[in-house]
Structure 1
Amino acid sequence: MPRASKIFCGFRALGYVSNHVPLEVRLKFKEKENYVITCVGKAFHTYNCSKLAIISVSDAHPDDITCLAVAGNLIFTACQNIVRAFHRGTKAVKTLVNKDKDISLLLPFGHHLICVDIDSNVTVWDYRTEEIYLEMDFDPSQFKISAMVHPTTYLNKILIGSRQGVMQLWNIKHDKLLYSFTGWGQPINILQQAPAVDVVAVGLEDGQIMVHNIKYDETIVKFRQEWGPVTSVSFRTDGHPIMLTGSSAGHISLWDLEERKLKCQMRDCHHTSVTGMKCLQNEPLMVTSAADNTLKVWIFDMPDGSGRLLRLREGHSAPPNKVLHYDNKGHNILSAGQDSTLRSFSTIHDKHNKNLGRASFDKAASKHSGLKKDQYMMPPITDFTAESSRESEWDNIVSCHRGLTLTTTWNYQKSTMGKHKFKHERFDNEPSLYKNVTATAVNITLCGNFVLIGYSSGHVDKYNLQSGIYRGSYGIDKAHSCSIRGVVVDGLNQQTITAGSDGSLKFWKFHKPKLLESISLSTDISQILLHRESSMLAVVLDDFTISIVDIDTHREVRKFEGHSNRVTDLTFSPDARWLISGAMDASLRTWDLPTGKLVDCFLLDSAVTSVSLSPTGDFLVTTHVDNLGVYLWSNLTLYSFVSLRPLEEFYEPKLLVMPGTSVEKEDREDSSDDEEEEYLSSDFKSPEQIADELVTLSLLPNSRWQNLLSLDIIKSRNKPKEPPKKGKAAPFFLKTIAGITPTFDINEENKDDKDDSHLLKGRLLPLSDIGLSLSKAKTNSDYETIVNKFKELGPSRIEVEIRSLVPEGGGSVDIMVQFVKFINYILSTNKNFEIAQAYLGLFLKLHAEVISNEIRVQEELDVLCSNQSEKWIELQTIFTQCLCLINYLRTATV
């Protein structure tokens, strides 16, 4: 199956901490450490309470997790109608398939797990054997299950609460209803076991909290919170008789059980309902979570007994609008969300994440009033720009806000709002004329000294970032007669380019507001983006097309068409070869600027709202509609060969699954391109399979063949000063054969004197073993045997064998001819290439005089020479191609 994208694959999602699913706490006695498990959609995170550092991320589920439960070393998750048991918080070790209905509640009970689906059908599983122990069905119209708890010391019994306000005590061993509680006429939201035996806290929909004795069916004490339904209940176990309740408004109440009154309140703990709340065992600590994507640890050390925020882990509580890589290393990503906050996410480790704060008209007043009821909160950031060159000296981030003329500055190093807020006095002096004017575009120069701000009225103002002083405007009255859609400055502060909504691009001198040239495009402009190093300006038009303008020649050089809806954002690759664009048609397209073609396109689950490619080109960052996360996509071209051919005109993009919070381990899919398949193929090819294309070596050590032509020099240099000591000889009855690995000659006794004679007729010198094999060689298998014999010999023995091939050494002219044929055979097989050349070189060096007098040997050498030339020409052609390709790639990337 072809890959949806040839360039990008999902890596991981940043910015997810928790959602509406209640958290769970797990205590490890050996490590004496508490761990918090929070749900983040299709996966869950495990944090330690000591530092709130992330310990593990689970594998992704096929759909969102509906509930969590912890039992011993196992973490249970419910996704649709399937329950999975995770060990060590990463891999699922057991899977329990329930009925067709989705699961809404989980309750571990010894070695059993109680599951309740949305139709109030109860299934009791024995998770050790993965078998169903018991099934119970309830009528949702009469008893719709909403909460469950196992009362302490109650053997085989569970207490079940319903939306009708009735509670029932069941014995699950005998499938028997033991007692039915009349209730209080309100839906039960939560049941929580108290530290005291027989006592259970019941949280109701109308805000009442009943501390009830289930043994005598008596209510011990009754409380009521005025903030809406009770969403969570917990008890302190560190010696203080305190019960804590969470509300849908994000407040937490602390109730004194001895004095039976409200002890204190913790307001605005979360922006949304407090769904998860657990007090740590025997510690003055509490962990809370909510759907606002935050996880908090509180310590009870305040004078009134309330909790103080000890540790915090958070992300955007509303979807981000825009992302931008901050530094040149690409390790930090700035993200502006609809919650009016500006955050920095690290691709290296979550401990480097920053929260630059929430935009406010009066930061000091916001701290006193609290974030939830902050009257000074500014609208969300719609656009921002950042430059790191002067980050240690003054503010280096400027943002514009929805519906405001005012623009704000931020300091990345101090992680706070800056001291300047830019707004020209013309907007205050003539409020009726500029009533609905808003700041629409901002840009900081590469030097970090100036910021340019464009407005919907057509004005473009320039300010000094260090002092906040106004430095002039462009145009006599204003730069454009329409709304400004973009403003950029080149890398040398020579040109300023402004874009109007009427499709006009104007080029100005940066220091003097002098108009250099103006060009008009085919339709209205939506936004612009400048790649300063290449002087390429990307212009997004309202007809869903993208134009590329060269700001040096002031000409349109490329035009890209393909999106079927509004283009929301775009980004250049570091070398300006690619332009990546995202649109509301839920597609992400990669355009190749040199060829002007579309080289990659894929679809996503939701539309892209912002996109940014890191300065190093390793990660692409995207944000999406109604998604709180920041998604990282890995660039495959940095790690493997990718053939980027232009896509067809009517190419149908495929859906690419968005990454989860853990690093994706995606199996490599087969590519549709034949070249890529051939390059990426991992099938092993033997020397026989590549014999028609390349040559292979023998893989022998260099000492076996490299110095064969210099053996006389080596022997004279290494001549021993003392006679060699004779080693221990084998017993007289064991014959040995000399060589690299001496072996016993076990066939000595069976040899026939007549057959084993190594003497040639008319010669007194014996013929060597290899010489005898050459004289008898007739087939290719005989030559292969001789090759294997040569490989077993050392350099000195090889020299002796080749010396003995001539008539004076005990050989003959026929054996010399056979040796040349033997070398010719090795070259024809394209194997053992280096040793064949070494043996041939030694043969020619030792027997040059004999060869010059023997015509038969010369004729065979002529055949060998022509074959060797053909092989070398083939290799030389391949070498030349490789060198040319390397030269081209080296010069093209400089």
Structure 2
Amino acid sequence: MERGTEGRTASALFAGFRALGLFSSDIPHVVRFNSLKRRFYVTTCVGKSFHTYDVQKLSLVAVSNSVPQEICCMAADERLVFAAYGNVFSAFARNKEIVHTFKGHKAEIHLLQPFGDHIISVDVDSILIIWHIYSEEEYLQLTFDKSVFKISTILHPSTYLNKILLGSEQGSLQLWNVKSNKLLYTFPGWKVGVTALQQAPAVDVIAVGLMSGQVIIHNIKFDETLMKFRQDWGPITSVSFRTDGHPVMAAGSPCGHIGLWDLEDKKLINQMRNAHSTAIAGLTFLHREPLLVTNGADNALRIWIFDGPTGEGRLLKFRMGHSAPLTKIRYYGQNGQQILSASQDGTLQSFSTVHEKFNKSLGHGLINKKRVKRKGLQNTMSVRLPPITKFAAEEARESDWDGIIACHQGKLSCSTWNYQRSTIGAYFLKPKELKTDDITATAVDITSCGNFAVIGLSSGTVDVYNMQSGIHRGSFGKDQAHQGSVRGVAVDGLNQLTVTAGSEGLLKFWNFKNKILIHSMNLDSSPKMMLLHRDSGILGLALDDFSISVLDIETRKIVREFSGHQGQINDMAFSPDGRWLISAAMDCSIRTWDLPSGCLIDCFLLDSAPLNVTMSPTGDFLATSHVDHLGIYLWSNISLYSVVSLRPLPNDYVPSVVMLPGTCQTQDVEVSEETIEPSDEMIEYDSPEQLNEQLVTLSLLPESRWKNLLNLDVIKKKNKPKEPPKVPTSAPFFIPTVPGLVPKYAVPEQNHDPQQSKVVNLGILAQKSDFCLKLEEGLANNKYEAAINLLKEMGPSGIETELRSLSPDCGGSVEVMQSFLKMIGVMLDRKRDFEVAQAYLALFLKPKNNYSTPEQGTGSTLHDSGTHCQPPDLHTEE
């Protein structure tokens, strides 16, 4: 695919991979029972796709393909899952693939109800359509007046053949026979909007949830109210009944509480407060199981088990992400498999890029953890710390003491966290002499050894603390390091230099040990944030004028300046090798700057402004978080697995908008072959045998073929067997082979001429090798390609034998030796196979005194029986 600056895809470097940390939305979940596997599965909506979990282990079974818009409601039967998006809904098979799509509504669909081989859909204009699932045809359409009867809920009562019960926002209910298209009965209701309908375990009995917080247990056969319950938490969002022998009903509320009611004693038996931090989207008791499945808009899916004596549910399993937008994300460790993320919900969590089972939550920060444990406070909201705004982590000493330091919104003290124990740490780091409430911690860093934390305050003070003991180890400057608020602190990899940036526009370099100021420099604008790449000593500064300055902390000079962002720069990240600086800004763009060339090499836009960006230590993924989004979005680095042309982008380059990746790893995007045009920039490079006329090219032969040619006598002496060779056991048959590096079968020559002469040809008795024959041919036609290729295919011993046989004493001739030297000359003239030619020539010219005599037990290379094969005198006439 073309990766140039014209007509290329939106990003040349990064492709959307998948989203992390998304588990549930405000759409009610769907529970299904697989009769073949005899297991329950729960399906939750996540944006444009849905997840299916095995209830037994709450493991992710499948992720559906994404749909064009956000899913607005879901339903399911035994075979298919139905998801509506806009005015269209689709049927998914195997929890993944769309097999049917139903189009016909003019308004957004908000209710779905499977009905045998049919499915009922209702839109916000109260138009009800019954579809045949497999033919995708309309069976029936009903239109209701929104001002009189606006459908809010739908239910198919058990044993009521071909009948559906509709609830309205006006409060009345209607029972319809959809086969005969007749209104059977109208229930006047309770003059309050109906929000939930649920079939009770008893036939003819329906639970009706109302806007007033009432739950009415009603017999629809006799139109009689059996009992009423009320909860004071607002409208009823969902209702479910236990079917395992306990007459208990659960009702959800918009504030996250669940009420449990005993239907025999007609009383409230328990309250599950703060089951979710937001509204209960859906709750379902599993059939004949003491398990309750709940999900909510707080991005959590939970399973509660009722095994206690009081009938209260305790949390059994859960899948949970952040319930509020993220404030900071950073890769943790060097393996590139964990991402630490802080959120406005006050939690610090770790998400694995490998598998969800490695996710873990470090929990909420508590002001006084011991007091909470001692008093057993149920409501810990009053003692929770505000959201984390910035944090720094180092895994060097994580097994010994806390390795994470975090500053909180509006707080002076910084908290420590322990990654291994997944909990808040032992210390709150703050200066003892400061008691004012208007001073807050604004910047933190932790040294690469994990021993010290450096904290910058809004007053301009920069303090150093010991992470093991929490003791204050000094401050930079006499009174304060900066006149303005500290915008960034960084410590180099050897704990020798500390860099601080202040809002007054000063960048200062300090000696880390004695806290003495080394250098101070003025910046063109006030810094917004600062980032140091410790391995290369490169410091990135994002300024308030939307520009980026890059400094070398060794020379303390600005080496690069980048401008182009049209909004506040929120975050920056370096690639692991320090070649790229990636910046994310409020103009919804993510830009990649090449530091060696000082150019912008990649830019793409997003539909939501990126707040954070961090790159994996292994360089395989870029992770981002965005405004009003709860997930972490991974982008794969295309340059690791594809050839990418990193040309500078022109000044008038207009980036295109890229959609955020979904939770499915592979998006099903069909690319036609016609849309892929070959690029002139990205032609596959095939190296020629000779690169340039002025260059010398080496051969591609392995070193074992030529490097040991001059040491064969030593090798043979070492390899000489200590015992005489044994006669091999005779085999019943054998296939003759030709000796060589590549074994070949010898084909017996067949005599096809019966009248062949019996006279022996004396030329055959000369026993010249193929190499000698090729050299003789080279004297005539001056072509040595065949001879060179023959030598390349031989091993060191074969090459030695061939060169030894060139001597007249060994069966050769002076002409053949001259031809060999001409062959070497040809190899050197064309500047190819240089090292091979040198090795062949060195072996040919090897002096006699370097060889062992026959009496010493080793064979000679260029002579036999003590006779030396001298090269011919090329200056004498033949």
TM-score range, shorter chain: 0.7 to 0.9
1:478 corresponds to? 480
Q: Flag the 1:192–1:513 CA change in 2: closer, same or farther, 3 A.
A: same
- Aligned-residue offset at 1:197: 0.7
Contact 1:450 1:463 in 2 (8 A): yes
Residues 290-309 of structure 1 deviation map (CA, whole Å, 9 limit, x = unaligned): 10111111111233212111
Say whether residues 1:315 and 2:317 are aligned partners. Answer: no
Q: Are 1:376 and 2:383 counterparts?
A: yes
Name the CA distance, whole Å, in 2 between partners of 1:246 and 1:722: 86
Q: CA deviation at 1:180?
A: 1.6
Q: CA–CA distance in 2 between the matches of 1:585 and 1:521?
A: 23
Aligned partner of 1:151 in structure 2 is: 157
The one of 267, 282, 305 equivalent to 1:299 is 305
Q: Take 1:436 and 1:617, find their aligned partners in 2: how far apart are those partners?
A: 40
- The SS at the match of 1:676 is coil
1:89 Cα offset (Å): 1.3
Q: Is the alpha carbon distance of 1:466 and 1:615 closer, same or farther for their aligned partners in structure 2, counting shifts above 3 Å?
A: same
**Which amino acid letter does the alignment assign opposite residue 420 of structure 2?**
Q
Separation in 1, partners of 2:569, 2:101? 43
Q: 1:252 aligns with which of 250, 253, 258?
A: 258
Secondary structure at the residue paired with 2:215? strand
How far residue 366 of structure 1 moved from its aligned partner, in angstroms, is 5.1
**In the TM superposition, what is the alpha-carbon distance from 1:101 to its structure 2 partner?**
2.5
The CA deviation at 1:232 is 0.2
Q: CA deviation at 1:207?
A: 0.9
Deviation sequence 1:697-743 (CA, Å, 0-9, x none)? 9xxxx9xxxxxxxxxxxxxxx9x99999999xxxxxxxxxxx98999
2:46 partner letter: V
| Aligned residue type for 1:601 | C
- Checking the alignment, whether the CA contact within 8 Å between 1:366 and 1:377 is kept in structure 2 is no
Q: Equivalent residue for 2:468?
A: 466
- Hey, what's the Cα distance between the residues in 2 that align with 1:677 and 1:843? 43
For residues 494 and 371 of structure 1, the distance between their equivalents in structure 2, rounded to whole angstroms, comes to: 47
1:273 aligns with 2:273: no
Specify the SS of the correspondent of 1:230: coil
CA distance in 1, matches of 2:527, 2:730: 94
Question: For the residues of structure 1 that align with 2:779 and 2:252, how far apart are their CA atoms?
Answer: 94
Q: 2:625 aligns with which of 623, 638, 642?
A: 623
Aligned to 1:83: 89
How do 1:446-525 and structure 2 match up within 5 A? 446-525=448-527
Tell me if 1:396 matches 2:396.
Answer: no
**Aligned partner letter, 2:129:** T
The structure 1 residue matched to 2:680, chosen from 657, 674, 698, is: 674
SS of the residue corresponding to residue 530 of structure 1 reads strand
Cα distance, 1:865 vs. partner? 8.3
- Alpha-carbon distance in 2 for matches of 1:370, 1:284: 27
Aligned pair partner of 2:248 in 239, 242, 246: 242
1:224 is matched by which residue type in structure 2?
Answer: R
TM-score w.r.t. length of structure 2: 0.80
Rounded Cα–Cα distance in structure 1 between residues aligned with 2:731 and 2:251: 95
1:261 offset after TM fit, Å? 2.1
Q: Distance in 2 between the 1:502 and 1:252 partners?
A: 52
The amino acid across from 1:451 in the alignment is: A
- CA drift at 1:108: 0.7
Task: Give 1:823 deviation, angstroms.
Answer: 9.6
Name the aligned partner's letter for residue 527 of structure 1.
M
Q: Which residue of 1 aligns with 2:214?
A: 208
Structure 1 residues 216 and 530, CA gap change in structure 2 (3 angstroms): same
Q: Establish whether residue 417 from structure 1 lines up as the match of residue 424 from structure 2.
A: yes
Separation of aligned partners in 1, 2:747 and 2:219? 89
Does the 8 A contact of 1:157 with 1:171 survive in 2?
A: yes
8 Å contact from structure 1 (residues 46, 56) kept in 2: yes
Q: 2:184 pairs with 164, 168, 178, which one?
A: 178
Question: Does the 8 A contact of 1:641 with 1:679 survive in 2?
Answer: no
Deviation of the 1:473 alpha carbon: 1.1
- Give the aligned partner of residue 645 of structure 2: 643
Task: Say if 1:875 and 1:72 are closer, same or farther in 2 by CA, change over 3 A.
Answer: farther
Q: Could you give the per-residue CA deviations for residues 462-512 of structure 1, whole angstroms, max 9, x where no partner exists?
A: 111111111111111111111111111111111111111121111111121
8 Å Cα contact 1:338-1:381 kept in structure 2: yes
State the partner residue of 1:597.
599
Show the counterpart of 1:788: none
Q: Which secondary structure does the structure 2 equivalent of 1:543 belong to? A: coil
Match of 1:51? 57
Q: Deviations over 1:726-783 (max 9, x none)?
A: 99xxxxxxxxxxx9899999xx9xxxx9xx9999xxx9899xxxxxxxxxxxxxxxxx
Aligned residues: 785
Cα shift readout 1:54-110 (whole Å, capped 9, x = no counterpart): 111111111111111111122111122222222221222222223333221111111
Question: SS of 1:351's equivalent?
Answer: helix
Whole-angstrom distance in 1 between the partners of 2:28 and 2:780:
83
Instruction: Structure 1: give runs of 5+ residues left out of the alignment.
Output: 681-693, 703-717, 728-738, 767-798, 807-815, 836-840, 880-894
What code does the residue aligned with 2:287 have? Q
Letter in 2 for 1:268: N
Is 1:224–2:230 an aligned residue pair? yes
CA deviation map 1:503-548 (0-9, x unaligned): 1111111121211111111111111111112111111111111111
The residue number in structure 2 matching 1:785 is none
Alpha-carbon distance between aligned partners in 2 of 1:28 and 1:819, rounded to the nearest angstrom: 83
Q: Check if 1:555 corresponds to 2:562.
A: no
In 2 relative to 1, CA 490–32 (structure 1 residues): closer, same or farther, beyond 3 Å? same
**2:69 is the counterpart of 1:67:** no
- In 1: Cα distance, 2:263 partner to 2:10 partner: 60
Distance 1:243 1:22 in 2: 18
- Letter paired with 1:32: R
Q: Distance in 2 between matches of 1:629 and 1:55?
A: 20
**Partner of 1:574 in structure 2?**
576
Letter in 1 for 2:101: T
Q: Is the 8 A contact 2:828 2:834 kept in 1?
A: no
Percent identity over the alignment? 49
User: In the alignment, is residue 535 of structure 1 matched against residue 542 of structure 2?
Assistant: no
1-side partners of 2:217 and 2:15: how far apart?
53
CA distance in 2, matches of 1:337, 1:372: 20
Structure 2 segments unaligned to the other structure (5+ residues): 3-7, 687-696, 706-724, 735-744, 795-799, 838-878
* Match of residue 439, structure 2, among 437, 440, 446: 437
Alpha-carbon distance, 1:825 to partner:
12
Q: Which residue of 1 aligns with 2:392?
A: 385
For each residue in 1:661-681, what CA deviation from the matched residue of structure 2 results, as whole angstroms up to 9, or x when unmatched?
12134768858853425369x
Aligned to 1:813: none
Q: What does residue range 670-749 of structure 1 map to in structure 2 within 5 Å? A: 670=676, 673-678=679-684
Distance 1:743 1:315 in 2: 78
| Alpha-carbon separation, structure 2, partners of 1:131 and 1:677 | 51
Residue among 426, 431, 445 paired with 2:433: 426
Among residues 203, 220, 237, which one is paired with 1:197 in the alignment? 203
| Partner-residue secondary structure (3-state), 1:206 | coil
CA drift of 1:166 comes to: 1.6
**Partner of residue 358 from structure 1, selected from 364, 370, 388:** 364
Shift of 1:364: 4.4
In structure 2, relative to structure 1, the CA distance for the partners of 1:847 and 1:542 (3 Å cut) is: closer
How far, CA to CA, are the matches of 1:875 and 1:653 in structure 2? Answer: 48
Alpha-carbon distance in structure 1 between the residues aligned to 2:746 and 2:496:
76
Residue 577 and residue 865 in structure 1: after superposition, are their counterparts in 2 closer, same or farther (change >3 A)? same
| C-alpha RMSD of matched pairs (Å) | 4.3
Is the deviation greater in 168-177 or in 619-628?
168-177
Structure-1 residue corresponding to 2:712: none
Q: Partners of 2:824 and 2:444 in 1: how far apart?
A: 73
Give how far 1:312 is off: 1.8
